[in-house]
Structure 1
Amino acid sequence: MNIVLTGSVGHIGKPLAQMLIKKGHSVTIISSSTERQSEIEALGAKAAIGLFEDVEFLTAAFTGADIVYLMKPPIDFFDQNSDEEAFWVKIAKNYVQAVLKSGVTKIVELSSIGGHTATGVGMLGAHHLVEQVLGELPGNVSIKTMRPVGFYYNMMAFMPAIKNAGAIFQNYGGDEPEPWVSPLDIAETIAEEMEAPFNGRSVRYIASEDVSPNEVAVVLGAAIGKPDLKWVAITNEQFFGNLMKVGFSEQAAKGLTEMNVSRVNGVLYEDYYKHPLILGKVKLADFAKEFATIYHNKF
């Protein structure tokens, strides 16, 4: 099949492209950076360099594709003028125009846990808005919505506090397990879905392992040689204040704080547990090795 991937060669895009190419598919990777072109072509994929804001570019890139994989460009949490919801909704509307003009009828969209609602999940509510925009496409366009849970590599953000204060500080914690996922498992699941039949609209959650905050501290601590590492739950106000001190925009700090609150009150996972789930292959212990390598190289 001819498959077009947005998202360049990041944590998910690169392994996804490698998997699809290995399976014999023709892959085009869209990137906004000319510097990525050689890396994309080295994978055996075709590079399409342009901007997500350019509908005509997207249309040309999508034309002739059997399947298009849609993901949203990352947001800079430190940009004081950024508006995540407005930016992503604009990109989603561009995707809709490009899909309609190109005639694509099969889409795999990368959404997120929390995508089931626009309220009560903090910054993740923006994913729901994007799902709604794409959902306005005509019925002949099949959409597979992928909702991965929290990424292991988001734990990289714990490193400065571990180094400087000897602990992990978040506005949630304890012994209640919650799901985490590896980008490799996300890529494998998406590749699997691309080769499965498309029929209407569907939602699939993706997770690798359920582990509690306290278990995370134990596993990461052991990996980096800090067996006494603790996960410390702080107040929402303290957490928000810490984010503001390191330069987060107010919108991003508020959104992340509220997202973590939804972990505790159950809103974040209320739809997740209604769906059947097969956990992926990559476990926290596997990620901890990567975490330790980066931690020791950085500090």
Structure 2
Amino acid sequence: MKFTIVGSLGNIGKPLTQKLISEGHEVTVITSSIERQTEIEQLGANAAIGSVNDAQFLEKTFKGADAVFSMTPPNMGGSNIIINTTNAGKALASAIQKSGIKRVVMLSSIGADLPNGTGPIQALHNIESVFNELKDVAITYLRAGYFYTNFYASVPMIKNMGILGGNMQNTTLLPLVHPTDIAVAVAEELQKIATENNIRYIISDIKTPEELATIIGSAINKPLLWTSFTDEQNLNGMLQAGVPVEISELYTEMGRALRNGIIQNDFVLSGSPVYGSVKAEEFAKEFANQF
């Protein structure tokens, strides 16, 4: 089969490309970086150099594919993040419709059922809404959990303060996911025959922040406790670390929504399905190797 992958060779794109190539499929990887071309081709895939905001480029690249994996970059330019990400989704939707693609797997997130109050996840809600208007396309919305890899940003906090923290409570239910588990799920969905839209949650493990801090602390041989910040403390801490204002505000909003349980609610109502294989203890070993 022929697949087109949006997302270059990131934490998801690279293992996804490797898996599909190993299974004998023809893969085209879209990247905005010409520097990635050689690496993509060395994996055995075709490289398409262009922007996810360029609907004409996307349409041309999508044509002839059996299915497309769609993801939008976080657009962390520092301003207009929701608008920019949503616009990238609109370009992808236009290209999907005009190219005649019939099967799409879209990377979304827990909480994408909600129209606002979820920080950066709001953009994925917007994109799901745009994709729902596509005609004669079967879409799987792959709603991923909170990325384990987000905790790499906490390394300075651990080293300098000896804590792991955020504006979630220590008992917050936190559905977690590893990028390689997402790649496996995407590969499965791309090859499924589907005639209608559906939602699939991809979660590797469920832990509270307190449990995760204990697990990571054990892996790095440094006892850790989760420290709950107020929203104001969380926002100010990000700003002091040099994070742009809009990003800091969005991630503080997301932490608040996780703390209040609204982001997790639909996942819980769906039966809290856990399909991923990378448990928190395994991620903690990876974390320790890079700590």
TM-score (norm 1): 0.94
Gaps of 5+ in 1: none
Distance 1:275 1:215 in 2: 23
Kept after mapping to 1: 8 A contact 2:110/2:143: yes
Aligned residues between the structures: 290
CA displacement at 1:290 relative to structure 2: 1.3
Corresponding position of 1:26:
26
Kept after mapping to 1: 8 A contact 2:52/2:72: no
Kept after mapping to 1: 8 A contact 2:69/2:190: no
Kept after mapping to 2: 8 A contact 1:6/1:31: yes
CA displacement at 1:31 relative to structure 2: 0.3
Counterpart of 2:120 in 1: which secondary structure?
helix
Counterpart of 1:28 in 2: which secondary structure?
strand
Corresponding position of 1:175:
171
Kept after mapping to 2: 8 A contact 1:120/1:267: no
Instruction: Letter of the 1:156 partner, please give it.
Output: Y
Counterpart of 1:271 in 2: which secondary structure?
helix
Distance 2:124 2:134 in 1: 16
Instruction: Letter of the 1:214 partner, please give it.
Output: E
Distance 1:178 1:101 in 2: 39
Instruction: Letter of the 2:50 partner, please give it.
Output: G
Distance 1:178 1:90 in 2: 29
Distance 1:189 1:178 in 2: 20
Counterpart of 1:29 in 2: which secondary structure?
strand
| Residue in structure 1 matching 2:232, options 237, 242, 245 | 237
Tell me if 1:126 matches 2:123. yes
CA displacement at 1:278 relative to structure 2: 3.5
Tell me if 1:110 matches 2:107. yes
Distance 2:225 2:75 in 1: 30
Counterpart of 2:265 in 1: which secondary structure?
coil
| Residue in structure 2 matching 1:202, options 178, 183, 198 | 198
1:223-242 deviation line (CA, Å, top 9, x unaligned): 1120x211101111111111
Counterpart of 1:292 in 2: which secondary structure?
helix
1:119-156 deviation line (CA, Å, top 9, x unaligned): 22122111101111111111x11111100000111110
CA displacement at 1:253 relative to structure 2: 1.2
Corresponding position of 1:249:
244
Q: How does 1:186-197 map to 2 (within 5 A)?
A: 186-197=182-193
Tell me if 1:160 matches 2:156. yes
Kept after mapping to 2: 8 A contact 1:207/1:280: yes
| Residue in structure 1 matching 2:181, options 180, 185, 190 | 185
Tell me if 1:292 matches 2:288. yes
Instruction: Letter of the 1:50 partner, please give it.
Output: G
CA displacement at 1:75 relative to structure 2: 2.5
Corresponding position of 1:148:
144
Corresponding position of 2:72:
72
Distance 2:240 2:219 in 1: 29
CA displacement at 1:176 relative to structure 2: 4.3
Gaps of 5+ in 2: none
Cα pair distance change 1:54/1:159, threshold 3 Å: same
Counterpart of 2:69 in 1: which secondary structure?
strand
CA displacement at 1:168 relative to structure 2: 1.1
Counterpart of 1:68 in 2: which secondary structure?
strand
Q: How does 1:211-222 map to 2 (within 5 A)?
A: 211-222=207-218
Kept after mapping to 1: 8 A contact 2:171/2:209: yes
Deviates more, 1:59-68 or 1:176-185: 176-185
Instruction: Letter of the 2:15 partner, please give it.
Output: P
Q: How does 1:9-20 map to 2 (within 5 A)?
A: 9-20=9-20
Distance 2:50 2:274 in 1: 36
Corresponding position of 1:85:
82
Identity of aligned residues (%): 40
Counterpart of 2:11 in 1: which secondary structure?
coil
Cα pair distance change 1:33/1:207, threshold 3 Å: same
CA displacement at 1:216 relative to structure 2: 1.0
1:182-202 deviation line (CA, Å, top 9, x unaligned): 111111111111122212110
Distance 2:38 2:113 in 1: 38
Instruction: Letter of the 1:216 partner, please give it.
Output: L
Instruction: Letter of the 1:235 partner, please give it.
Output: T
Counterpart of 1:111 in 2: which secondary structure?
strand
Counterpart of 2:170 in 1: which secondary structure?
coil
